[in-house]
Structure 1
Amino acid sequence: MVAEENYFSGSEHGEYALVLDGNKEIFGAGSLAEVGAHGRVLGMTRVALFTDARLAKLPAVETAVKSLRDKGIKVTVFDGVEIEPSDRSLKAALRFAESDTFDGFVSVGGGSVMDTCKAVSLYASYPPADFLDYVNKPLGKALPAPGPLKPHIACPTTFGTSSECTNVAIFNFLELGTKAGISNRAIKPTLGIIDPNALKTLPSQVVASNGMDVFSHAVESYTARPFTSRPVAEDPTARPVIQGSNPFSDMNCLEAIRLIGQNLVRAVQDPDDIAAREKLSFSGLLGGIGFRTAGCNLPHGMSYAVAGLVRDYHAKGWPDDHPLVPHGFAVIVNSPSVFRYMGSTCPERYTEAARALGMSRLAADQDAGDYLAGGVIELMKEVGAPNGLTALGYTAADLDALTEKGWPQRRVIDNAAKAITKDELRRMFEGALSYW
């Protein structure tokens, strides 16, 4: 790992303190059946359970509902969450939450479901004057929650987004053609229950996309600007959710990368390799803990434009009723280009990430960013990830539009190890058109 003195001997004018939000997650095969017991301890008596239409018919939701009802908790299910949720589906979920006197929330699903539930909990508890008030700047005002939220137990059925342990929710803002984010400490679920058994039925391409998301989360957090490079907070009680790379996140991110390198190809190529999928589930938890504190940077900022401007791409393993770029693929198509462009900002970290992935030692005359990019491209090939933006239906004619939609994502763009210009962002999109 990179020496910790890089943080603690920084500029005397930089941030000197790191906020470590507590973890409260349960991990283990079979743990989903415990949701009722934990709900009762949290005081839940009338629960709104969020999921999507496909998951509502699968065993995970049945297990959660039975567990809650066995403990005397009344459950009402909302299964209208959209995959890659939009402001439209978020508002529909909010209307449901406001239709009854719920005293707790449970989400069973992937990042779309958990993010929807997190946002709904905030909006239903403290309705804003304007819908964008809680949304990150510059799209919204990024207002903090006025107080505590009702308890929320998040139960992931995927492993890519790690939404069960983060204080971020993402949705597609249809009118603007881009994704919007809410970063708010209050929306972190009260408890995450991560049951690896939920991954047994995931299609191979969903596993691939999830793994690419975890991997890029981890590398982006590990190579983000150090938290000590930020100005000292004017209000020490209101430090930002995203703080930059730090020694706590570093440990989690490197282990997440290592687990992806050892298990992703196995899990994609052999759906019956349950041991590999269990380790991937744990990698998602570690990656989430890492980026919750450090934050992602450029590949994720670019991904919101890639997903928001999709025209006709349909991914195998996802519903085919509308065009959709799965989040992990929307991210990873940008990652090699970003690594090549940004490798010189912290070459020792790009080299360390490559080693964690399982690559051999960097040659003396190699560029660290290009070195890691090469390993990622090989991994993309092995798991069937799209070959850059062109595989998603984009061409060079779309570069300006992608740049315009990506540039406002300041929450993550500004978390890169160095400040970039709009033209540099366009060059990174250009470098992501294709890789092989």
Structure 2
Amino acid sequence: MPVVRVAPTRAHQALNLLRAVNSGTSSCPCHSNPSHHHHPHRHVPINPFAGRRRSLATPTDSSQQKEYAFEMAASSIRFGPGVTKEVGMDFKNMGAKKVMVVTDQTVQKLDAMKQVQEGLDREGIPYEIYSKARVEPKDYSIREAIDFAKPYAPDAFLAVGGGSVIDTAKLMNLYTTFPDAEFLDFVNAPLGKGKAINAKLKPLVAVPTTAGTGSETTGTAIFDLVEKKAKTGIAHRNLKPTIGIVDPLNTRTMPSAVHASSGLDVLCHSLESWTAIPYHERVPRPRNPLERPAYQGANPISDIFSLQALRSTVKYLPRAVKDPEDWEAQSEMLLAATLAGVGFGNAGVHLCHGMSYPISSQNPGYQHAGYVVDSPIIPHGVSVAVTAPAVFKFTGASNPERHLAAAEAFGVDISQVKKESAGEVLSEALQKFLVGLGDQPRGLKALGFQKSHIADLVEGTIPQARVLMLAPNLDTSGGEEEREQLTGLFEEAMSY
């Protein structure tokens, strides 16, 4: 396998962490210490937990309703320039006889698809191509994809594209495994029935062509539920790909605008999972391990991935956006996206993502530059980042140390910053970073939203219970207090 030439310390450390997770072991010195609230050193180390312990409820302590455990799950990852050509061998090794290749009409013309098809042909693997996956998928585009897959009855799936393609493939896999299920059976409650996926799905190999979603590592698939005017999705560990083929050569065709918006998703994945409530504060405790959600709250292992992804994004995203020929920056952003995927795929995201879903689905007509699509679009990374300055100003008081550590990753000197200013300081650092990227909408007004839209945006956010439950400082009762808090956040996010 080709050797990746990446930054010698951090990237190699990150790859070692991925190998540890994939092997089911970890040399992380903090894996036995689930303490979350802590005081960072001046320069926050990769393990900010050492030396702090707290007593946890045991599995037999029925008087406690809070969680007492976390699980670490991620797809296997193969990282390196040129690894795409190995996918044919992967399916041969699996014994696959009928592969469903999922892509979109743009990616179908790129070298990644050429490499995939040549690899499958070389190994004599029969396959069918579905090339109508939609960017920012809708429920009807997912249904169309499922209807295409069912008659073919594949025994394995291969997704080649961005997060939208990979998420579409996940749901094709799910509903061909459960052909009699109603579409809303597995969709996250309260918009769907939220049923657990109680059977193993078919093998899925994911080949990302963007550096953002981290979907190649997670058991999450997101789409727009048109009737409800809200994004939702399905989240379960059984959805995660069998392996992610993470090839830096595949992101070299990304336009600058796509580099930027994809990178903003990485930025918010890492920040939200780093600042999510601690796993041991999540309620209710599951009655059965099968009921433990994929999004569990911040934990000592996910923290390592999230913080490293944040640092890499701050360092390399501006370079990747500024210079399309900066292959080192592109490679590091692809690795950061995967690291962030491991982090948020286990810890979860919160307000930026919860608020982004109605922003995208209730788009008043905004068309982001650099995206060639047949309808108005607010790219997912833009929709999450546009509220980030307001969100982290709001959550700062929940854990000042964490917010200051994040601000320090942006280069802020936090030595003289008071704890009560942590949220504001991180918010200002975020604003400066976003403005520095250039051509980013500075708030909801720039997307075409007015104050008259806020009530609908709030109502579209409240059903996102799966992520809102992890948001610090937020009342999640569904009552007036929650509506007032969300209204204030959307008002704050109108401009920065």
TM-score normalised by structure 2 residue count = 0.85
Q: Is contact 1:7–1:228 with CA below 8 Å preserved after alignment?
A: no
Higher mean C-alpha displacement, 239-248 vs 36-45: 36-45
What CA deviation, in whole Å up to 9, does each residue of 1:91-119 have, x standing for no partner? 11001101213111000000000000001
Shift of 1:17: 1.5
Closer, same or farther: CA 114–362 of 1 in aligned 2, 3 Å: farther
The code of the aligned residue for 2:469 comes to D
1:430 has 2:491 as partner: yes
1:308 has 2:384 as partner: no
Q: Distance in 2 between matches of 1:315 and 1:155?
A: 25
Unaligned runs of 5+ in 1: none
| SS of alignment partner, residue 216 of structure 2 | helix
Shift of 1:362: 5.2
The code of the aligned residue for 2:470 comes to N
Q: Could you tell me which residue of structure 2 aligns to residue 248 of structure 1? A: 301
- Overall identity of the aligned pairs, in %: 39
Higher mean C-alpha displacement, 258-267 vs 15-24: 15-24
1:379 to 429, 433, 441: 433
Shift of 1:423: 1.0
Higher mean C-alpha displacement, 33-42 vs 232-241: 232-241
Q: Is contact 1:48–1:104 with CA below 8 Å preserved after alignment?
A: yes
Q: Distance in 1 between matches of 2:458 and 2:52?
A: 32
Q: Distance in 2 between matches of 1:432 and 1:269?
A: 26
Aligned residues: 435
Shift of 1:25: 0.8
Higher mean C-alpha displacement, 316-325 vs 48-57: 316-325
Higher mean C-alpha displacement, 372-381 vs 157-166: 372-381
2:103 to 51, 56, 61: 51
Unaligned runs of 5+ in 2: 1-46, 59-63, 476-481
Higher mean C-alpha displacement, 7-16 vs 302-311: 7-16
Give the 5 Å matches for 1:80-119: 80-119=132-171
Shift of 1:6: 6.5
Shift of 1:228: 0.6
What CA deviation, in whole Å up to 9, does each residue of 1:39-91 have, x standing for no partner? 11122121110000111111111111111111110121111011100011101
Q: Is contact 1:386–1:392 with CA below 8 Å preserved after alignment?
A: yes
1:370 has 2:431 as partner: no
Shift of 1:3: 2.6
Q: Distance in 2 between matches of 1:418 and 1:7?
A: 24
Q: Could you tell me which residue of structure 2 aligns to residue 160 of structure 1? A: 212
Q: Could you tell me which residue of structure 1 aligns to residue 405 of structure 2? A: 352
Shift of 1:238: 2.6
Shift of 1:251: 0.4
| SS of alignment partner, residue 201 of structure 1 | coil
Q: Distance in 2 between matches of 1:362 and 1:132?
A: 50
The code of the aligned residue for 1:433 comes to M
Give the 5 Å matches for 1:8-19: 8-9=54-55, 13=64, 14-19=66-71
Q: Distance in 1 between matches of 2:244 and 2:206?
A: 5
Q: Is contact 1:362–1:371 with CA below 8 Å preserved after alignment?
A: no
Q: Is contact 1:133–1:143 with CA below 8 Å preserved after alignment?
A: yes
What CA deviation, in whole Å up to 9, does each residue of 1:208-258 have, x standing for no partner? 111111011011001101001124322134311111000001000110001
Shift of 1:326: 0.2
Q: Could you tell me which residue of structure 2 aligns to residue 139 of structure 1? A: 191
Q: Is contact 1:362–1:368 with CA below 8 Å preserved after alignment?
A: no
| SS of alignment partner, residue 165 of structure 1 | coil
RMSD, aligned α-carbons:
1.5
The code of the aligned residue for 1:396 comes to K
Q: Is contact 1:262–1:358 with CA below 8 Å preserved after alignment?
A: no
Q: Is contact 1:263–1:279 with CA below 8 Å preserved after alignment?
A: yes
Give the 5 Å matches for 1:24-423: 24-230=76-282, 231-361=284-414, 363-365=416-418, 367-384=421-438, 385-420=440-475, 421-423=482-484
